[in-house]
């Protein structure tokens, strides 16, 4: 690959080094081979422009992320075989296999050469990290790591020590200078802030009982002040004043909300209400799963679930299994204003987290839709007026028929016999057989038991599963969690719905 010609690209100079931290506004020659090989050849060809001449053979490929429109190669700089904290180089390659962007936090040669060697061992570093801060118990998590810590124009040897504390509960990552023994930085990985917001729980009518969502000319009315619930937004990281949390981030949303006081109370007509609503409801749903026992090493989501709260003008929302993100549309009533629409889509994310690529056969796809409706209905049942309990997405479906109007109901009387096996069949329609079956279980056993056995059943399913296998998995989950306490009632429900065999 030829180096980029002078002036054929734009660059952003680094703050402390003479080397650029970003090159952009160019298209490289077309590369071949896998993305990591293209990235390496590009870096080799442009090492002088980037000022990473000697770093080149010390860049380790850490990750390759395959996006829909581009591949992103992330490399980590090493020096004397140790990691340099935050010294990443990323190379971004378009579908046409041309590099179009490179970012570099690599530390240049002259700075590397001046770095001192470590003089204190891990035991002293741990003592320094444990000293000061908090009561209760504290212990080291994992193994302390010796690395390089860049600070302006110097590279310090440092120990990275992770400490868990009980009071106040915190997991602190501490960097201890490996020559002086002083603490360079401390960062609490669990630190969480709480914000405030207003949302619908899960729709305006649940609180404003007499509110009629449509006016005489069938336009959607503005909900009254009494339709809002004041809630707390938990597990916020509190950095950047945006909706970034331990469980959820709205980072994919354009023109994100910011609030220095973390007060996100808005009316639904204001842009940003959907973003707040999405953060709140999905965060609560994941917190509920943690409460069911899916936490610690059993946690289902290993990183914050990313949401685009206004990702399309269509009246449509989706979960992307490839990117593991949620997107909500703003056609008609904004989808992310309705707590149940949010949790229906979250249902897909939850299934995919347990059982990757769930829903690849017609029956599995119908189970995916049915589960999302069930999960939303189960989650909010106690918040809704009695005549709303068997219906889901009544705000999103304000224009729908029936009483109350809704997108779908959970009390279909259909049995498996009515499953439409034609290629043109709609999985949401077929899904109502499954959601009604799950809803029967909910009514017979109560929310907690039903949610536990239904969620747990997914661990033994695959993407091409069927109603019959889904039913047997629920029975197995009941055996594993409750020693078959509900077997008789479950079998009766499956039999009545024509799902089986389950014996």
Return the number of the residue (223 or 431) whose C-beta is nearest Zn ion.
Answer: 431
Q: For 395-419, give the DSSP string.
A: TTTTTSSTTTT-SEES-----GGG-
Q: Which residue, 244 or 369, has its beta carbon nearer to Zn ion?
A: 369
| Distance in angstroms (rounded) separating the CA atoms of residues 391 and 410 | 6
Taking a C-beta distance cutoff of 8 angstroms, is the pair 134, 170 a contact? yes
Closest CA to 389 of 374, 368, 367: 374
Nearer to Zn ion, 38 or 350 (CB): 350
Nearest-approach distance from CB 454 to Zn ion, in angstroms: 16
Please identify, among the stretches 83-91, 364-372, 381-389, 438-446, the one whose residues bind Zn ion according to the rule CB under 5 A. Answer: 364-372
Using DSSP's 3-state secondary structure scheme, residue 304 falls into coil
3-class DSSP assignment, residue 496: helix
Smallest separation, CB 334 to Zn ion (Å) = 17
CA quadruple 478, 480, 485, 488: dihedral sign:
positive
Q: How many CA atoms lie less than 13 Å away from 381 in the CB half-sphere? A: 17
Query: What residues numbered 27-86 form the site for Zn ion, per CB under 5 A?
Result: none
Q: Name which of 161 and 393 has its Cβ closer to Zn ion.
A: 393
Element (H, E) at 494: helix 487-496
> Is 26 or 464 the residue whose CB approaches Zn ion more closely?
464
Shortest distance in whole angstroms from residue 100 CB to Zn ion: 34
Piece of the chain touching Zn ion by CB under 5 A; list 197-205, 267-275, 362-370, 417-425: 362-370
With beta carbons less than 8 A apart as the criterion, state whether 373 and 408 touch.
yes
Q: How far is the CB of 204 from Zn ion (least distance, A)?
A: 22
Joined together, the tokens standing for residue 497 give: 């719905």
With residue 308 as reference, give the H or E element that holds it: strand 305-312
Sign of CA dihedral 3, 7, 10, 15: positive
SS3 content of the chain, % helix, strand, coil (to 5): 35, 25, 40
Alpha-carbon span 184 to 154, nearest angstrom: 13
* Residue 345: both structure tokens together: 């889509």
- Look at residue 193 and give its three-state secondary structure: strand
Question: Using CB under 5 A, which residues numbered 280 to 299 contact Zn ion?
Answer: none
Closest CA to 252 of 326, 344, 315, 318: 326
**Structure-block tokens of residue 214:** 């449509």
* Least Å from the CB of residue 442 to Zn ion: 19
> Quick one: 89 or 307, whose CB is closer to Zn ion?
307
Tokens 């589960």, residue located? 371
Whole-number CA gyration radius for the chain: 27
Picking from 336, 292, 303, 330, the residue whose alpha carbon sits closest to that of residue 197 is 336
- Region from 144-152, 283-291, 331-339, 367-375 binding Zn ion, contact rule CB under 5 A: 367-375
Question: Which range binds Zn ion by CB under 5 A, 86-94, 240-248, 365-373, 394-402?
Answer: 365-373
Tell me the backbone φ, ψ of residue 30, rounded to 5 degrees. Answer: -70, 135
Rounded to a whole number of angstroms, the minimum distance from the CB of residue 353 to Zn ion is 15
x-or-dash string of contact with Zn ion, 368-387, rule CB under 5 A:
-x--x---------------
Binding footprint of Zn ion, residue count (CB under 5 A): 2
Rounded Cα gap, residues 275 and 249, in angstroms: 10
Cβ closest to Zn ion, residue 340 vs residue 369: 369
Residue 318 CB, nearest approach to Zn ion (Å): 7
H-helix or E-strand spanning residue 429 = helix 427-445
CB of 294 to Zn ion, least distance (A): 21
Binding string, residues 312-351; x marks residues near Zn ion by CB under 5 A: ----------------------------------------
* Region near Zn ion per CB under 5 A, out of 11-19, 202-210, 255-263, 363-371: 363-371
Smallest gap from Cβ 350 to Zn ion, in A, equals 12
Q: Which is nearer to Zn ion, 156 or 428 (CB)?
A: 428
The residue (of 337 and 369) whose beta carbon lies closer to Zn ion is 369
CB of 306 or CB of 342, closer to Zn ion: 342
- Considering beta carbons, is residue 284 or 373 the nearer one to Zn ion? 373
Q: Least distance in Å: CB of 359 to Zn ion?
A: 9
Q: How far is the CB of 121 from Zn ion (least distance, A)?
A: 55
Between 369 and 396, whose beta carbon lies closer to Zn ion?
369
CA distance 316 to 331: 7
Task: Give the nearest distance from C-beta 223 to Zn ion in angstroms.
Answer: 25
Least distance CB 372 / Zn ion (angstroms): 5
First to last CA, the chain: 64
Contacts of residue 303, defined as CB under 8 A and 6 or more positions apart, other chains included, come to none
Nearer to Zn ion, 144 or 372 (CB): 372
Residues that bind Zn ion in the complex, under the rule CB under 5 A: 369, 372
């Amino acid at each position: 690959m030829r180096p980029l010609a002078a002036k054929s690209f734009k660059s952003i100079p680094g703050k402390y080094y003479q080397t650029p931290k970003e090159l952009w506004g160019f298209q490289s020659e077309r590369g071949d081979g896998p993305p990591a090989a293209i990235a390496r050849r590009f870096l080799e060809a442009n090492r002088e422009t980037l000022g990473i001449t000697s770093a080149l053979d010390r860049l380790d490929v850490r990750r390759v992320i395959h996006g829909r429109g581009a591949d992103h190669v992330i490399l980590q700089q090493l020096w004397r075989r140790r990691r340099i904290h935050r010294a990443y180089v990323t190379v971004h390659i378009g579908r046409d296999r041309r590099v179009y962007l490179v970012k570099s936090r690599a530390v240049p040669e002259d700075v590397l050469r001046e770095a001192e060697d470590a003089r204190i061992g891990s035991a002293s570093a741990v003592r320094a990290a444990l000293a000061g801060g908090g009561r209760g118990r504290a212990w080291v998590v994992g193994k302390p790591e010796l690395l390089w810590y860049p600070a302006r124009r110097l590279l310090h040897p440092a120990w990275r020590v992770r400490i868990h504390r009980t009071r106040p509960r915190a997991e602190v990552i501490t960097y201890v200078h490996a020559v002086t023994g002083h603490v360079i930085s401390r960062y609490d990985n669990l630190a969480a802030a709480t914000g405030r917001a207003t949302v619908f729980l899960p729709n305006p009518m649940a609180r404003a009982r007499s509110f009629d969502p449509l006016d005489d000319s069938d336009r959607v009315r503005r909900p009254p002040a009494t339709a809002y619930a004041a809630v707390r937004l938990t597990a916020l990281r509190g950095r950047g004043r945006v909706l970034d949390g331990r469980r959820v981030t709205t980072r994919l949303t354009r023109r994100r909300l910011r609030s220095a006081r973390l007060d996100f109370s808005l009316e639904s007509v204001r842009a940003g209400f959907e973003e707040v609503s999405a953060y709140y409801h999905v965060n609560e749903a994941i917190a509920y799963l943690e409460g069911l026992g899916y936490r610690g090493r059993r946690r289902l989501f290993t990183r914050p679930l990313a949401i685009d709260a206004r990702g399309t003008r269509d009246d449509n929302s989706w979960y992307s299994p490839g990117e593991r993100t949620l997107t909500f549309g703003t056609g008609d009533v904004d989808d992310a204003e309705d707590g149940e629409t949010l949790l229906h889509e979250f249902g897909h994310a939850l299934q995919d987290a347990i059982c990757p690529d769930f829903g690849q056969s017609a029956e599995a796809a119908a189970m995916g839709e049915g589960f999302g409706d069930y999960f939303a209905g189960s989650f909010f049942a106690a918040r809704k007026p009695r005549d709303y309990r068997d219906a889901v997405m009544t705000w999103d479906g304000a224009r729908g028929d029936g009483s109350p109007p809704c997108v779908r109901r959970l009390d279909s009387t259909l049995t498996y016999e009515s499953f439409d096996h034609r290629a043109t069949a709609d999985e949401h329609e077929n899904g109502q057989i499954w959601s009604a079956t799950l809803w029967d279980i909910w009514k017979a056993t109560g929310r907690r038991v039903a949610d536990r056995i239904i969620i747990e059943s997914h661990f033994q399913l695959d993407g091409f599963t069927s109603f019959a296998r889904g039913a047997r998995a629920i029975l197995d989950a009941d055996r594993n969690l409750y020693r078959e306490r509900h077997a008789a009632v479950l079998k009766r429900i499956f039999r009545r719905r024509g799902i089986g065999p389950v014996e």
